[in-house]
Amino acid sequence: MNARASAQHYRQTSVSSAVLDASPHRLVALMLAGLRERLKLASACMEIGDIPRKGQAIGEASMIIGQLDGSLDHKAGGDIAAGLAALYNYAQRRLLEANLQNDLAKLQEVDGLVADIESAWLAIAPDQQK
């Protein structure tokens, strides 16, 4: 096993452990952090011209947004859940455009939106953070 494979295996084990031990609030925080990580990776790949990896990172980001959207409780969340659903829908469209047009500004826009959501999410229950 080479060093890169070992590092990847360690990272996967670390992520799996964090997920298994996480509260629901922490799981969403992990998803938001993972989403931002993929957006930054897609941006870096776009800048160096690694189109296949850019597409993969954007696809992974889109999948996470879909999971976040699917986890919304519209009955309990009311207007907040509806607002987040609309924001997630907008982010999905912008990711598609960014991927098709190789538009770094659109990726950065989505990252900014997600950063705002992440900041608000972390602020609502700081005592639950691990």
Q: What is the pLDDT of residues 38-86, one digit of tens each?
A: 999 999 999 999 999 999 999 999 999 999 999 999 999 999 999 999 9
Give the max Cα distance, the chain: 50
Token duo for residue 24: 């629901």
**The CATH classification of domain 23-128, taken from the options 3.40.50.150, 1.10.357.10, 1.20.120.340, 3.40.50.1360:** 1.20.120.340
* pTM of this structure: 0.81
How far apart CA 28 and CA 71 sit, in angstroms, is 9
* Percentage above 90 pLDDT, the chain: 75
The residue among 116, 108, 123 whose CA lies nearest residue 61 is: 108
| Gap between the terminal Cα atoms of the chain | 32
Q: Is residue 3's pLDDT more than 90?
A: no
The better pLDDT of the pair 8, 100 is held by: 100
Q: Where are the domains of the chain?
A: 23-128
Chain-wide mean pLDDT for the chain? 88
Scored b (16 or more CB within 10 A) or e, 78-108 reads eeebeebbebbeebbebbeebbeeeeeebbe
The number of beta carbons lying within 10 Å of the beta carbon of residue 130 is: 10
